[in-house]
Amino acid sequence: MEFSRRDLLKLGLFGSAALMLPAERVARTELAVINRMPESRLPGPFTVPFAVPPVLQPDHVTPTTAYYTIEQRQVSAEILPGLPTTIWGYNGMTPGPTIVNHQGQQAVVRQINNLPDVHPSLRYKVWTSTHLHGSASLPQYDGYASDITEPGQYKDYVYPNIQDARTLWYHDHGVHITATNAQMGLAGVYILHDPIEQALPIPHGDYDVPLVIKDAMFQQNGELIFDDNNQSGMYGDVILVNGKPWPLMQVEPRKYRFRILNASISRSYRLALDTDDPLVVIGTDGGLMPHPQPVGDLRLGMAERYEVVIDFAKYKPGQRVVLRNLQPPNNIDYTNTNVVMAFEVGAAVSDASHNEVPVDLNPNMRTMGLTEADAVRTRHFDFGRADGEWVINSKTWADIVNSDYEYVAANPGFEDVEIWELQNDSGGWFHPVHIHLVDFKILDRNGRPPHPYELGPKDVAYVGEGEIVRVLMRFEHQRGKYMMHCHNLVHEDHDMMTQFEVGFGGDDPMHADRAAPLPAGPLFTEPERPQSGGDAGSGSGSGSAPQQPATAPGGGTTGAGGSGSSASGSTTSGSPGKSTSPRKHRRSRRKPHKPSKAKASSAKPSKATPSKGKATSHKPAKRKPATGAKPKKARKPLVRRSPKRS
């Protein structure tokens, strides 16, 4: 039986649709790679001026809370000179605006998803989840990957700011699409100050500079290329610092403090100065180190942060100092990925204050005071690849989803101290492992001491090729389920992510506070008249200077100084004199635990406040009875209007 020409055309119509539509995305990527911008047309290193992301001004400030609004939106930005690039930015910029806060004053950040329904070139359905990396947030505000916000929705994230001063960053964590969402630009810096850090004579203000390092690859028309190299990693041939390709920064001949963040999807760096002068490391992921560590070079995995002081006083005016990348193994390198940026030293110093690095920075900090003897148990985690998936102890995030988010890889008790062994048997991959919620101390690396620059509190451990890294941590601040994953975001998406649960009775990250549809209600409302007696909390009033902290027995700092918005070094500003009622945050429509978790029935509710000895302005919120979530229900104002008083 033969086919007529008409039959063949009809079959061809169907066959082309069935094959071309799936192949379209792959073809787009392949064509984009073929159409990659030639290196000869890229800007030369150190030809573009350096820039710093602007500081986000709060919508409103009370003694206890700063309120912010961020809109995630698609814009056309000029990253390469003269060429438009479609990006997704927080408030339309990448990196997003820097958020600056003070210990003891919580922040409420409204994230509005105004992104398109589908990715402009990869055509996937879009959702986001915003993680504040380094914050001990409640589970429902931690950017739990599957707690997504779709276009046309918003979510109000509450950040307690109860920890020590540190460099945090907020970035997308949407399940399975984190890599491309982040590569589109969804990342920004969040700085937390505390009185100890503010009192140190280290560089502050204009001399305290964030460096967000990221790599990208561009088509000839300026659009980004997304090639995950068969799920191994996404690498670019252009190094961006604060969104600028290989920028040149003008510096004064004095000390600068750089908050270096590796916001790359898959690329790690080994940073060094071309002068061979040391980088003085003063801070790690979790804040100031006990003592500064001068190092010749510094390996920087994805999501790791190091605070580094560089002293430019030793250089001649006009001298150019290059920050190099010594290119760790198992990255895909290009001609100019061996340099990051350059500094051009000026002749005059406009402000000579805060120009020191003291021997003691934060010697009594709690995390670094932990010892192996404090640990109540040791757990082991293997990071590897099986059946085409990236796995942790042979499990993937799909296993978490299949268990209805009940499966946990570990269940440390609240405030327990544990040792976790993170193992990477592979010789061909490295895995920067991020453990949410906690700060940890790196005990050793293949039995050898950690690198000098790792002698501070961390939340990402670079687990290199064939390495076993042991980390020690106290599971404190919050109860509930938190993620652990590889911060190669391509690995995370496919599907190297698991979860652990701290204690019992924590809030359910999937249901306690879901995203709601736009239009959003007011972020806060002004009371009709100020409340007598002031707001609850420990704040000292908007605009006041931070108080000196008392040192807690464990070396931690109390958050008594609920600082205002105009504290030293901060560029945030509020509305001094105005008073609003603090938001009573909706919390925890908790799902009942399964019977196998016998302790669940008698567990205490999770505390919004941190461990003993830490006073904060974060108020425990009222709980609602456990009911099914109704994510589409419109929201109430975050701050309720005070009743009229006659």
Partner 1 sequence: MATTTLRAPRDAARAPRASSTSWAPISAATLSLLAGWVHVAYAQSHWRQWWAYGLFFVATGVVQALFAIAIMRRPRPGVAVAGIVANLGIVAMYVLSRTDGPPLGPHAGVTERAGTIDLATTAGEIVLVGVLLTLAGRGGRRTIVNALAVAGLLLWVLRLTGNLP
Output the smallest distance, CB 494 to partner 1, in A: 10
* Amino acid in the structure at residue 346: G
Distance (Å, whole) CA 309 – CA 323: 13
Pick from 7, 9, 137, 157: nearest CA to 72:
157
CB 398 to partner 1: min, Å: 4
Cβ nearer to partner 1, comparing 8 with 352 = 8
φ and ψ of 255, to 5 deg? -85, 140
The least distance separating partner 1 from the CB of residue 14, rounded to whole angstroms, comes to: 3
Query: CB 185 → partner 1: shortest distance, Å?
Result: 20
- d(CA 190, CA 160) in angstroms, rounded, equals 13
Closest CB 25 distance from partner 1, rounded Å: 7
Nearer to partner 1, 86 or 570 (CB): 86
User: In the chain, count of helices (H) and strands (E)?
Assistant: 5, 32
Question: Min. distance of Cβ 241 from partner 1 in angstroms?
Answer: 31
Cβ neighbours for 387, distance < 8 A, ≥ 6 positions apart: none
Quick one: which of 213, 124, 128 has its CA closest to 167? Answer: 213
What's the min distance (Å) between Cβ of 442 and partner 1? 31
CB-nearer residue toward partner 1: 23 or 51: 23
Supply 136's token pair. Answer: 């001990």
Smallest distance from partner 1 to CB 404, Å = 10
d(CA 238, CA 229): 17
Q: How far is the CB of 49 from partner 1 (least distance, A)?
A: 38
Nearer to partner 1, 3 or 78 (CB): 3
> Phi/psi zone of residue 373: left (φ > 0), alpha (ψ -120 to 50 degrees), beta?
alpha
Answer yes or no: are the C-beta atoms of 290 and 236 closer than 8 Å.
no
The CB-side HSE value for 484 (13 A sphere, CA atoms) comes to 29
Closest to partner 1 by CB, 276 vs 387, is: 387
Whichever of 223 and 399 has its CB closer to partner 1, that residue is: 399
> Which two structure tokens, joined as six digits, stand for 373?
């003897």
Judge whether 244 and 294 are in contact, CB under 8 Å.
no
Burial of 442 (0-12, 13-18, 19+ CB in 10 A): buried
Q: Which is nearer to partner 1, 7 or 372 (CB)?
A: 7
Q: List residues binding partner 1 (CB under 8 A).
A: 1, 3, 7, 9-19, 21-23, 25-26, 117-118, 122-125, 175-177, 386-389, 396-402, 495
Q: In whole angstroms, how close is the CB of 221 to partner 1 at the nearest point?
A: 21
CA distance 183 to 29: 14
Neighbouring residues of 1: CB distance < 8 A, sequence distance ≥ 6: none
With residues binned 3-state (H G I as helix, E B as strand, rest as coil), the percentages for the chain, rounded to 5, are 10, 35, 55
Q: Specify the residue, 123 or 633, whose C-beta has the smaller distance to partner 1.
A: 123
CB of 33 to partner 1, least distance (A): 14
Which is nearer to partner 1, 17 or 634 (by Cβ)? 17
Residue 448's alpha-carbon distances to 162, 443, 467, in angstroms, are: 33, 9, 11
CB of 345 to partner 1, least distance (A): 48
Compute the distance between CA of residue 498 and CA of residue 513 in angstroms, rounded to an integer. 21
Q: What is d(CA 471, CA 474) in angstroms, rounded to the nearest whole number?
A: 10
Residue 219 per-residue DSSP state = B
Report how far apart, in Å, the C-alpha atoms of 513 and of each of 124, 143, 178, 630 are. 25, 11, 21, 9
Between 125 and 612, CB nearer to partner 1 = 125
Distance CA 338, CA 333 (A): 8
The tokens describing 214, both together, are 């990221």
User: Of 307 and 508, which CB lies nearer to partner 1 in the complex structure?
Assistant: 508
Q: Which is nearer to partner 1, 19 or 598 (CB)?
A: 19
Closest of 327, 180, 361 to residue 265, by C-alpha: 180
Closest distance of CB 169 from partner 1, Å: 25
**Among 287, 558, 264, which residue's Cα sits nearest to residue 439?**
287
Residue (398 or 468) nearer to partner 1, CB? 398
